[in-house]
C-alpha cells in the first residue's frame, strides 16, 4: 500500500496541470495535515486547496485505490464534510457505524444500510445531521471507494 505522500509525489505532473488550467495558478507544494492540501500561487497570494476539491478528483480517486482503510475513511470524511458542511469527525463516526452495522446485522445492500443508519439508535443522530440524501451519498461513496462490499443499487 502506498502512502498519501507517495500518491502526491507520483502525481505532481497532473497536479501542476490541474492547478494551471483550473485555478490559473502555479503549484508550490503540499501540506499533509489533517488531509492533503495543495499549495498554489494565484497572482501574489498563496492558497491551500484540499485534495477533496472536485478539481483534484483524479488524484483523490488514485488515493482511494491505494490507501489503507483508515486513510480512506479519513479522506472520505473530509470529502463529505466539504459537501455537506458537517464536521469530519461526525462523518468518520457515521462511516464506522455503517461498517459495523453492515457486519453485525449482515446487511448486504445499500438501500437497507441507508434505512438502518437513519433508524438505528447507534447512528440515528449522526445520520439525521447528514440528511437522507447525504447518507445515501455516503453509503454509495463508501462502496465506490472500497470501504463496503455490497451492490450500490440494492440488487
C-alpha cell at 76: 472520505
- Clarify whether residues 140 and 74 are in a common domain: yes
Asked whether residue 77 is domain-assigned, the answer is yes
Does the pLDDT value for residue 34 go beyond 90? Answer: no
> Of 12, 47, 62, which marks where a domain is finished?
62
Asked whether residue 43 is domain-assigned, the answer is yes
pTM of the model: 0.88
CB-CB contact of 56 with 67 (8 Å): no
- Clarify whether residues 97 and 125 are in a common domain: yes
Does the pLDDT value for residue 151 go beyond 80? Answer: no
Does the pLDDT value for residue 1 go beyond 80? Answer: no
Proportion of the chain above pLDDT 70, given as a percent: 97
CB-CB contact of 117 with 140 (8 Å): no
pLDDT of 155: 46
| pLDDT tier for residue 47 given thresholds of 50, 70 and 90 | very high
Asked whether residue 152 is domain-assigned, the answer is no
Write out the residue range of the structural domain in which residue 15 sits: 4-62
Asked whether residue 47 is domain-assigned, the answer is yes
Question: Number of folded domains in the chain?
Answer: 2
Amino acid at each position: 500500500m502506498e502512502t498519501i505522500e507517495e500518491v502526491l509525489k507520483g502525481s505532481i505532473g497532473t497536479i501542476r496541470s490541474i492547478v494551471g488550467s483550473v485555478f490559473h495558478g502555479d503549484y508550490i507544494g503540499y501540506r499533509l495535515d489533517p488531509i492533503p492540501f495543495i499549495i498554489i500561487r494565484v497572482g501574489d497570494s498563496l492558497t491551500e486547496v484540499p485534495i477533496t476539491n472536485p478539481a483534484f478528483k483524479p488524484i483523490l480517486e488514485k488515493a482511494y485505490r491505494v490507501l489503507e482503510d483508515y486513510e480512506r475513511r479519513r479522506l472520505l470524511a473530509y470529502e463529505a464534510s466539504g459537501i455537506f458542511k458537517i464536521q469530519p469527525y461526525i462523518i468518520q463516526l457515521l462511516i464506522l457505524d455503517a461498517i459495523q452495522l453492515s457486519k453485525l446485522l449482515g446487511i448486504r445492500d445499500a438501500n437497507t444500510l441507508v434505512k438502518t443508519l437513519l433508524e438505528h439508535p447507534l447512528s440515528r443522530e449522526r445520520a439525521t445531521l447528514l440528511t437522507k440524501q447525504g447518507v445515501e451519498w455516503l453509503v454509495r461513496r463508501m462502496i465506490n471507494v472500497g470501504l463496503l462490499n455490497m451492490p450500490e443499487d440494492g440488487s
